[in-house]
Structure 1
Amino acid sequence: MHLDPAPAVFEAMIEGWARQQRVRFLQPDTIDGRIDVVRRLTVFSNQYPWQWRAAEVEAFVDQLRSGTRPIAVSTARSYVGALRMFLDYVTDARYGWAGVCVERFGEAPQQVLGEWNTIAHVTEYEGRPGRRPLSYDEVQALFDAADGRVDEIRALARKGALAAQRDAVLLKTIYAFGLRRREAWGLDLADLRHNPKAKQFGRCGAVFVRWGKSSRGSAPKRRTVLLVPEMDWVVPVVTQWVEEVRPLFAPGNHPAMWVTERRGRVSKRAINEAFEKARETAGLDPVLDLHCLRHSYVTHLVEFDYPERFVQEQVGHSYASTTAIYTGVSDEYRNRLLTRALQDRHSDLWDGASS
């Protein structure tokens, strides 16, 4: 028998809940994140789950949203959702935790979260207002800054020129194929594909994505992203990386597309840092993040007049509404559409004006 049974019961609850989620084939990162929220509330309230009341949970969320770095609405919803699921588990009679807690501590866990104190999901997009597609000039400025870092490091005869060159190619590849961070991180050399309908692109005709965003309890989704002609400038960039620069890292038989000086796969955090360094050098808005390159890809494909369904398939969205959220077309593009519509509707007036 434990001298202090409370911590032991709490850990058993956590392990049982983790097992329940593993049986549903949820991703380890998802499970760990949810458990972390439960532990944080336990530390914040200095109480165990069978002692929680609505006031403790509400105070926890209120503290997170009102600090020096308040959490976003979507983050708060995920936290509250995790706590609600945990309480669903420990109050479920099939798992017997209520009986255990009453026997040992004289009180049972309660479900203290309901529609009266949870966050409703009323809009499709709740991201930061500052997150937006980059303009063509901003994309160019970002890439110029990334290339400039390579020249600067070489001029100073410092280490890191190869890594800077890798980062520049990586950012260009993310934009040219509209990739998520994890998708770019997981690329292997074997994922570069030929497109028989676009032989001029060589091995860069398509990218096979194996680490797409997964649905609940499923494996990462896979898709093939075709290189569009407007992005063909990336072909010599990637080719030089694969044939000339990457071998200088001496990666041996490592399959990763993006390798480090230590002959390993570049980390997801390093990909974020590559964007942030280039953004800072280019003097762009600090609110912009790596995912904005994907927003830019979607927007620019729409402005290139690719059909919505094609764009949706390229980026791996299940719903067209998601693709629409990513799109922020320019005034110039909208004016072109307006002019085209006016020409089609009033062709006699336009013909007369042109003559």
Structure 2
Amino acid sequence: MPNVVALDPAAAMFDAMLEGWARQQRSRCLGLKTIRERLGLVRRFAAYCGTWPWQWTPEDVEAYFASAVSGDRPLAHSTVRGQQGDLQVFCAFVADARYGWASACLEEFGEVPVQVCHPWNTAAHVAAYEGRPGRRALTYDELQALFDAADDRTEEVRASGRKGTLTAWRDALLIKTVYAYGLRRREAAMLDLSDLRHNPRAADYGRFGALEVRFGKASRGSPPKRRTVLTVPDMDWIVPLLAAWVDDARPQLEPGAHPALWVTERCGRISLRRLDEVFASLRERAGLPEVLELHALRHSYVTHLVEFGYPERFVQEQVGHRWGSTTALYTWVSDEFRNRLLEDSLARRARPPGERAAPDRDNPAGRPRGER
């Protein structure tokens, strides 16, 4: 109403800015989680400064993020750069003349919002990989230790006679499936029985010749990306394990008409948190470094496909990367693999012209097996 005056005009203006920015982001189809996190950042920044957006200065940005990268738990470089980008987007929104916030602030407070994030006071994107240095692919020995820990845990639960044998086996198989298909956490959790696919070129695998991933990582407000991940011969040990789960174990949980591939004992879909908890538990049991996370299995999948000799483009399509450079960042080829390439190159140079080397089919890399 035109005659109504806000008791706190500054707070009312700030709330209206945030609501307008949230509306703009929703119109771009950005995820609600993304929007909530951005709004939370702006509110925390305003509380830290003790001022309103039309009063912010570049010095406020420098003070806020200088404190964020110090202390006992400093923010990672990628997190700082992302938050600075979000704050820059908000400032661009409220300073844009097309939205009228600048003129409204000038009329009400005699000041206007300006852009406070600039190249000279924000983190630069100079490295292709900004994750923690400790993140990497698992070695073959580490991967086998993880699988053995999963199987041992299942056997212990079964031998104890306690309830939970089926879920322990499900957890072990779920971890192996994440690796065998290079899945992200949400991609694995959202798999349905209908996502199991036949591959005419791999008829021996039956309905486990491929997985239809329908909840791939979205970007810039797009719907989840879809892709088909083929079962590769080097990891076809997963086929009989999945068959045993679908045909024998899963029905014992009595899921009814629930479509999820991975169901809980309460006939629901497994949660993302549960995946993290399972991996952390098995990682500790196997004695692996704490820096390794569930996503390390996806790094391992990419790395091992490269070491097995699959073309880079094939690997990129399997994991659903838009750019080959992203796939390259996931690749952590081992010294053993590089030395083997070096030895092969030296052997070719020493071999008489016309002589061919015999192929080695004896699993020289010690590839992990998911089954015992």
Alignment TM-score > 0.5, same fold = yes
1:125 to 129, 134, 152: 129
1:280 to 277, 280, 284: 284
**SS at the partner of 2:144?**
helix
1:153 to 157, 164, 186: 157
Show the counterpart of 1:50: 54
d(CA) in 1 for partners of 2:354, 2:290:
45
Counterpart of 2:315, as a letter, is: V
1:258 to 243, 258, 262: 262
Show the counterpart of 2:36: 32
Q: Is contact 1:61-1:76 (8 Å) kept? A: yes
d(CA) in 1 for partners of 2:282, 2:354:
46
Q: Is contact 2:49-2:60 (8 Å) kept? A: yes
The residue correspondences of 1:156-171 to structure 2 (distance < 5 A) are 156-171=160-175
d(CA) in 1 for partners of 2:97, 2:306:
52
Q: Alpha-carbon deviation of 1:46?
A: 2.7
d(CA) in 2 for partners of 1:156, 1:65:
48
Show the counterpart of 1:244: 248
Show the counterpart of 2:302: 298
Show the counterpart of 2:363: none
In structure 2, the CA distance between the partners of 1:46 and 1:312, relative to structure 1 (3 Å rule), is: same
**SS at the partner of 1:222?**
strand
Q: Deviations over 1:71-110 (max 9, x none)?
A: 1100100000000000000011111111222232332212
Q: Does 1:41 align with 2:45?
A: yes
Show the counterpart of 2:331: 327
Indicate the larger mover: 281-290 or 253-262. Answer: 253-262
Identify unmatched segments of 5+ residues in structure 1.
Answer: none
Q: Alpha-carbon deviation of 1:113?
A: 0.8
Show the counterpart of 2:273: 269
Indicate the larger mover: 211-220 or 76-85. Answer: 211-220
Q: Alpha-carbon deviation of 1:158?
A: 4.0
d(CA) in 1 for partners of 2:161, 2:55:
61
Q: Deviations over 1:131-177 (max 9, x none)?
A: 11101111111111122222333444444433222211111000000
**SS at the partner of 1:101?**
helix
Q: Does 1:311 align with 2:315?
A: yes
**SS at the partner of 2:342?**
helix
In structure 2, the CA distance between the partners of 1:64 and 1:156, relative to structure 1 (3 Å rule), is: farther
Q: Deviations over 1:228-275 (max 9, x none)?
A: 111111111111211222223222211111122232211111111111
Q: Is contact 1:343-1:350 (8 Å) kept? A: no
Q: Alpha-carbon deviation of 1:51?
A: 2.3
Q: Alpha-carbon deviation of 1:201?
A: 1.0
Counterpart of 1:296, as a letter, is: S
Q: Alpha-carbon deviation of 1:350?
A: 11
**SS at the partner of 1:197?**
helix
1:107 to 96, 111, 117: 111
Q: Does 1:212 align with 2:216?
A: yes
d(CA) in 2 for partners of 1:83, 1:157:
55
Q: Does 1:232 align with 2:212?
A: no
Identify unmatched segments of 5+ residues in structure 2.
Answer: 359-372
Counterpart of 2:65, as a letter, is: V
d(CA) in 2 for partners of 1:130, 1:308:
24
**What CA RMSD, in Å, does the superposition of the two structures yield over aligned residues?**
1.8
Q: Does 1:19 align with 2:23?
A: yes
Q: Deviations over 1:176-198 (max 9, x none)?
A: 00111121122111101111111
Show the counterpart of 1:348: 352
Counterpart of 1:106, as a letter, is: G
In structure 2, the CA distance between the partners of 1:43 and 1:147, relative to structure 1 (3 Å rule), is: farther
Q: Alpha-carbon deviation of 1:8?
A: 2.1
**SS at the partner of 2:46?**
helix
Q: Alpha-carbon deviation of 1:125?
A: 0.5
Q: Alpha-carbon deviation of 1:346?
A: 3.1
**SS at the partner of 2:352?**
helix
**SS at the partner of 2:126?**
coil
d(CA) in 1 for partners of 2:51, 2:71:
22
Counterpart of 1:102, as a letter, is: L
Q: Is contact 2:183-2:319 (8 Å) kept? A: yes
- Aligned residue pair count: 352
**SS at the partner of 1:127?**
coil
Q: Alpha-carbon deviation of 1:281?
A: 0.6
Q: What TM-score comes out, normalization by structure 1 length?
A: 0.94
d(CA) in 2 for partners of 1:268, 1:51:
41
d(CA) in 2 for partners of 1:63, 1:156:
51
Counterpart of 1:215, as a letter, is: S
Q: Alpha-carbon deviation of 1:207?
A: 0.4
